[in-house]
Amino acid sequence: MATMNAPTMDRRTTGERRINTHSRQHSAMSALDYLAMALLIIGGLNWAMVGLFDVDMVATILGPGSPATRITYIVVGLAALYSIYTTAKMAGSKRG
């Protein structure tokens, strides 16, 4: 007569558990990612204001043609380049 053991959770060993560590590596955004996203949102809203109402809010707040305005535009552009790099890196990691 064969006996059947009741299934218990303590029978599983560590080797049998499957943990996907690769998916956890890219799940959280870094502070730089959040900063780039915030700058892209600011830049996108500014361009929307320029397109809809012909009002450049960055130039209105910081002064047209001022060094602060130019630096703001440069930083937003760098955020866009960083986002392109991050997107390409994420797309490459999903393939392989």
What does the domain layout of the chain look like in residue ranges?
28-95
Q: What is the mean pLDDT of the chain?
A: 84
Contact by Cβ (8 Å): 57, 46: yes
The model's pTM: 0.67
Residue written as tokens 């109402």?
A: 53
pLDDT digits (tens, 9 = 90+) for 52-89: 999 999 999 999 999 999 999 999 999 999 999 999 98
As a whole number of angstroms, the distance between CA 49 and CA 16 comes to 57
- Across the range 36-64, mean pLDDT stands at 97
Q: Which residue has the tokens 């006996």?
A: 3
